[in-house]
Amino acid sequence: MKVIEKLNNAKNPLISIEIVPPPRGRTVKDLTDIVEKLLPLNPAWIDVTAHASHADLIEQEDGSFQRRISRKRPGTIGICGVIQNRFKIDTVAHILCLGFTKEETEDALIELNYLGVENILALRGDYPNFEKRVSKDRSVNHQAYELVQQVKDLKTGKFLQELEGSLPLDFCVGVAGYPEKHQESPNLMTDINYMKHKVESGADYIVTQMFFDNKHFYNYKAECLKNNITAPIVPGLKIIRNLSQISRVPKTFHVDLPESLSEEILKNPKHVQEIGIQHCINQCRDLLENKAPVLHFYVMNDASQVVKVIKALGL
């Protein structure tokens, strides 16, 4: 089932989860173990992140360096297929602009359609640390709205090249929102204008970057409505679980931690997990009181904390 259908039909708040593929060289069992722990939570859907290729310099025996390009976390499509068909949980495959051509994107969407996956999250992605050569017979999406438009074209059966006997590919498309603005946007209003462009291009719903102070989410929703953005907005949540994250999370994801949260962790570093869980519980209760349609948890590769949060909420 499509995410937008779940959002429109839900009578009670939903739970959704985001996980990351295991590192290159590992197996899908790393992910299935996590999914099995999440099954009792009855997640409405599971997002699976995607990662473009990355260049590393490998030192050779003669002291020279050779550039090696690889994807450190491959397998998004396969993992979606396993979760969708083995566990019967709807999946959302992350699809990136940067690092992939339109032709590669179309191939990925065709494969996802074969596997019964009906949902994608359209993302620009981070700039790669090398320049990928694109042949003259290939094309690229530079921004997320262009990717949304490509998927919208496939809904009408418009492929990059005419395919004999092809049928339309009908995907539900989510896009990313940033309550504290995207790091590259000069201000929040500019960022919201970008969001309006993505929704007008065909996006069905919005899922936000993680935030730790609900006032950012409420302000973002209000500003979206002022600008006639009426797509459902799903709040993204992350649970702080170790001391290093109070500096690493703001730096990596360009978000603020409330002073009360960081101070409590610094005063009681041995209890950081309990503090992180309780803060998330408080966030969730407030969001549910304010009619949030779904709680979306960035689990990554550790399900234990979110299980505790959901049990405490009684969902």
Tens digit of pLDDT per residue, the chain (315 long)? 999 999 999 999 999 999 998 877 677 788 888 899 999 999 999 999 986 644 444 555 555 555 554 455 568 999 999 999 999 999 999 999 988 899 999 999 999 999 999 999 999 987 664 466 666 767 889 999 999 999 999 999 999 887 777 789 999 999 999 999 999 999 999 999 999 999 999 999 999 999 999 999 999 999 999 999 999 999 999 999 999 999 999 999 999 999 999 999 999 999 999 999 999 999 999 999 999 999 999 998 888 899 999 999 988
Q: Helix (H) and strand (E) counts for the chain?
A: 11, 10
Residue with tokens 């593929």: 21
Residue pair 277/12 in contact (Cβ under 8 Å)? The answer is: no
Give the span between the Cα atoms of 210 and 220, in whole angstroms.
Answer: 13
Catalytic residue among 18, 106, 146, 180: 18
Q: 78, 113 in Cβ contact below 8 A?
A: no
CB 203 within 8 A of CB 175: yes
Instruction: Return the bridge partners of 210, or none.
Output: 236
pLDDT computed for residue 55 by the predictor: 43
Reference 145, options 137, 153, 156; nearest CA is 153
Contacts of 261 (CB under 8 A, 6+ apart): 212, 240, 246, 275, 279
Domain ranges of the chain: 3-313
Beta strands in the chain (DSSP E): 14-19, 45-48, 54-59, 65-70, 91-96, 119-123, 172-177, 205-210, 233-237, 294-300
Which residue has tokens 């949030």? 292
At 300 the pLDDT is: 81
Active site residue 36: no
For 113, phi then psi, to 5°, come to -65, -40
Which CATH fold would you assign to the domain 3-313? TIM Barrel (3.20.20)
In sequence order, which residues have a C-beta less than 8 Å from that of residue 28 and are 6 or more positions away?
22, 75, 78, 79, 82
Identify residue 277 by its one-letter amino acid code: I
Q: How many CB atoms lie within 10 A of CB 292?
A: 21
Closest CA to 202 of 117, 255, 253, 145: 145
**Phi, then psi, of 70 in degrees rounded to 5:** -155, 165
Q: Which residue has the tokens 């009408």?
A: 156
- Per the CB < 8 A criterion, the answer to whether 233 and 188 are in contact is no
